[in-house]
Amino acid sequence: MRKIAYKFFVCFVTGLIGGILLGCTLMSTLVSYRIDKYHEEIMLLKTRIEESDAKYNKLKESFDSMNKKKFLVSDIQVFLIFKGNEEDDFDKMQLEKYIKDRYQDLLWKEVKSIDMDLVVKLVDEDIYRIENKNYRLGVNRVLISDVFKIWVTVKKID
């Protein structure tokens, strides 16, 4: 009788410890997934805040010296075209931020005074490195109106 009780106790303790370990593993996996999602959302919101602050400061500066008849660039939009591989959301946000930072000086400038060749060469044939990955950027198309739109092809370099 004592041997059966001892075996039952060992089995119970083993099951309890195994259950605790499995529960902790599942809980940490769930928590880390949610933390990654929140981190991604925070990065996106920080990027939007920085862009809005830059637009606001440029707008505030330009109102002092702005002529009402000029056609000015008021926003920058970046469209990324990935060649041959899957896109990573963190890398995509970093690339968009990098390209928008490169073209930040175009905000609130008169459209007539912008040199298209210089604008294209600013990002064309650039190599951008994120962690251990290299990306080659190529300008596909540019549209300048009140919104500056640029289409950039992104190719991962091995």
At residue 108, the pLDDT reads: 82
The per-residue pLDDT for range 95-150, each reduced to its tens digit, is 999 999 999 989 888 888 899 999 999 999 999 998 888 999 999 999 998 899 99
Tokens of residue 26, six digits: 């599942």
Q: Is the dihedral of CA 51, 53, 55, 57 positive or negative?
A: negative
DSSP 69-91: T--B--EEEEEEEEESSPPPHHH
Q: pLDDT tens digits, residue range 54-87?
A: 888 887 777 656 556 677 888 899 999 998 777 7
Residue of 157, 39, 35, 46 lying closest to 96 (CA atoms): 46
Question: How far lies 9's CA from each of 13, 19, 138, in Å?
Answer: 6, 15, 67
Domain ranges of the chain: 32-157
